[in-house]
Amino acid sequence: MTNGAGEPLDDFVRELVRDDLANDRFGGRLQTRFPPEPNGYLHIGHAKAITLDFELANEFDGICNLRFDDTNPDTEDTTYVDGILEDLEWLGYQPHVAPLYASDYFEQLYEWAEHLISEGMAYVDDQDAETISDQRGGFGQPGIESPFRTRSVDENLDLFRRMRDGEFDEGARVLRAKIDMQHENMQLRDPVMYRIRNEPHHRTGDRWHIYPTYDWAHGQSDAIEGVTHSLCTLEFDSHRPLYDWYLSKLPLPSDTPRQTEFARLELTHTVTSKRRLAALVEDGIVDGWDDPRLPTLRGLRRRGYPAEAIKEFCSYIGVSRANSRHQIELLESFVRQHLNATAQRKMAVLNPLRLVITNWPEGEVNEVEVVNNPENPDDGTRLVPFTGELFIEHDDFRADPPPKYFRLTPGREVRLRGAYFVTCTGFDVDDAGTPTTVYATYDPETRGGNAPDGRKVKSTMHWVSAEHAVSGSAALYERLFSAEVPGTETGDPMDDLDPNSVTTLDNCMFEPSMADLAPGEVVQFERLGYFAHDPRTQLLFHRTVGLRDEWARIQQRG
């Protein structure tokens, strides 16, 4: 991967890795991991972390694994592990070994907890969550010590074993690390290591009644796997001292993993918090986790975003410690760049208007040759049937053209792509004055799209033969949230939802070759944009992203 200037990636993480390697810190080894919690689907923000973790391993001859951080049975489910596996594979990354699970380390974690207890560094607290929270103190105010903090090692061991054996109710007791209730970093005020949960776990079933917290599980899991660089997002910065504290108290080799934090990815006009995404799905605002308006990986995939474009975007934006929100337009420019090079061109009329060629020989069908992708001659050409009755785009005809309008208008000659020059001779309107049929004559000399006398036209338009067209639907998407930063006005992002974020056109006319498009295939509708064939519904297309549209800009400026 390279940055925008085509240079190898460089950032503070790579610099740090290079230093560690140069100083032989981990015996010259690099190992990362991507540690999702299986309680939701992956989104574009995860793609940034994934790209970092895996590309880093590629660059430094290291390895990267996938580890499910499944320490909380309340919310986790195998549905999500399957989904995450699918999404990761789609992105094109292959973990070094089969998926790993923090839950596979529960036994080891438990033993280490007993070790800490034996060393007088952990204790069982009988108080409830609220009491513990109150005693923790606040910013600037020291906490107070739990009355159970001075329990004997033996009593702690006994209680902890009985917690494990399921003797107590949920919430009745916790195991806490004995660190410092006065510490200025709240994370170090005797954090909870284990809580009692009688919920079945998606992998360990009902074998455990106690579950490790994130802090107690994460660093140790890293150590068990041999992770050298544990990359996570900025909000874990204040947890790093705790990460290091646990590792330093356990019988481990001295080269313990090193946690480094970077800023998470935020995008304009969307949200990436799991809670908010779940709300959009559950409240029926979108159609499901793979709704093309969502920034989920499955949503983007259905929308037609190429995995390559997503990865290039993630590499390009780099990694830093500054919170920032990238413009969605940048992602879209990567998508266009990729699709422009790869997508096959098709002619599709979204809002059909009848065009009758009055001098066309009655009943004649003429196959004209059009290019599949001008960016890639190897993709060849195809034949498209041309007849005397066609559909053109409603927007491509104006009875009364505004300035700078180059398309079809009475008396004007334009080119029908790959076919002929036609000149508009008249049109019909309905009672509302909307054109219903346009009439034109064609010039037989211009077959193939060029005039032997060298005369030029200002516009080339797409078309389909009425007799041969296949009909279908197209979903046109706007941004899900109209505000750049949803929620800036009222504090609630949901207030910025665009109620019209999707427009579905059901009377689209497609050139016949589109009947053969594979599910999920992404093509360019000439002059309109890139469209992804729905994976399940034949001839339903999702607009991935429009083409850059100068005419729209001219109109906007007025």
Partner RNA sequence: UGGGGUGUGGUGUAAUUGGCAACACGGCAGUUUCUGGUUCUGCUAUUCGGGGUUCGAGUCCCUGCACCCCAACCA
Told to judge if 364 belongs to the known catalytic residues of this protein, a careful annotator would answer no
Q: Which is nearer to RNA, 29 or 257 (CB)?
A: 257
Q: Judged by CB under 7 A, how many residues of this single chain contact RNA?
A: 97
Residue pair 464/504 in contact by the 8 Å Cβ criterion: no
Does 527 help bind RNA (rule: CB under 7 A)? yes
> Binding residue for RNA (CB under 7 A) from 283, 362, 400, 550?
550
Does 383 help bind RNA (rule: CB under 7 A)? no
What is the C-alpha separation between 86 and 546, in angstroms, rounded? 27
Q: Which is nearer to RNA, 29 or 372 (CB)?
A: 372
Told to judge if 37 belongs to the known catalytic residues of this protein, a careful annotator would answer yes
Cα dist. 393→230, 292, 404, 414, 509 in Å?
A: 54, 25, 18, 14, 10
Distance of CA 184 to the CA centre of its chain: 37
3-state secondary structure of 374: coil
What are the two backbone dihedrals, phi and then psi, of residue 224, each rounded to the nearest 5 degrees?
A: -60, -40
What are the two backbone dihedrals, phi and then psi, of residue 488, each rounded to the nearest 5 degrees?
A: -65, -35
Q: How far is the CB of 150 from RNA (least distance, A)?
A: 18
The residue with tokens 């799905």 is 281
What is the C-alpha separation between 461 and 483, in angstroms, rounded? 34
User: Per-residue string for binding with RNA, 52-81, x by CB under 7 A?
Assistant: -----------------x-xx-xx------
Stretch that binds RNA, among 51-59, 115-123, 231-239, 277-285 (CB under 7 A): 231-239
Site for RNA in 170-229 (CB under 7 A): 170-174, 184-187, 191-192, 195-196, 211, 213-215, 217-218
What is the C-alpha separation between 343 and 333, in angstroms, rounded? 15
Q: Identify the active-site residue in 25, 136, 249, 274.
A: 274
User: Per-residue string for binding with RNA, 17-36, x by CB under 7 A?
Assistant: ------------------x-
Helix (H) or strand (E) holding 22: helix 12-22
What is the C-alpha separation between 515 and 495, in angstroms, rounded? 40
**DSSP letters along 28-76, please?**
T--EEEE---SSS--BHHHHHHHHHHHHHHHHTT-EEEEEE----TTT-
Site for RNA in 277-306 (CB under 7 A): none
Site for RNA in 232-251 (CB under 7 A): 234-239
> Binding residue for RNA (CB under 7 A) from 22, 23, 27, 138?
138
Site for RNA in 400-429 (CB under 7 A): 404-407, 415, 417-418
User: Per-residue string for binding with RNA, 426-465, x by CB under 7 A?
Assistant: ----------------------xxx--------xxx----
Site for RNA in 463-522 (CB under 7 A): none
Q: Which is nearer to RNA, 86 or 237 (CB)?
A: 237
Q: Please enumerate in sequence order all residues whose Cβ is within 8 A of that of 1, keeping only pairs 6 or more positions apart, or say none.
A: 9, 51, 55, 311, 312, 315
What is the C-alpha separation between 427 and 425, in angstroms, rounded? 7
How many other C-beta atoms are found inside a 10 Å radius of the C-beta of residue 133?
11
Q: Please enumerate in sequence order all residues whose Cβ is within 8 A of that of 173, keeping only pairs 6 or more positions apart, or say none.
A: 124, 125, 126, 159, 163, 196
Q: How far is the CB of 309 from RNA (least distance, A)?
A: 12
Does 330 help bind RNA (rule: CB under 7 A)? yes
Q: Which is nearer to RNA, 291 or 331 (CB)?
A: 331
Q: How far is the CB of 137 from RNA (least distance, A)?
A: 7
Does 3 help bind RNA (rule: CB under 7 A)? yes
Q: Would you say how long the chain is, in residues?
A: 558
Q: Which is nearer to RNA, 320 or 538 (CB)?
A: 320
Q: Which is nearer to RNA, 29 or 211 (CB)?
A: 211
Does 273 help bind RNA (rule: CB under 7 A)? no
Known catalytic residues?
A: 37, 264, 274
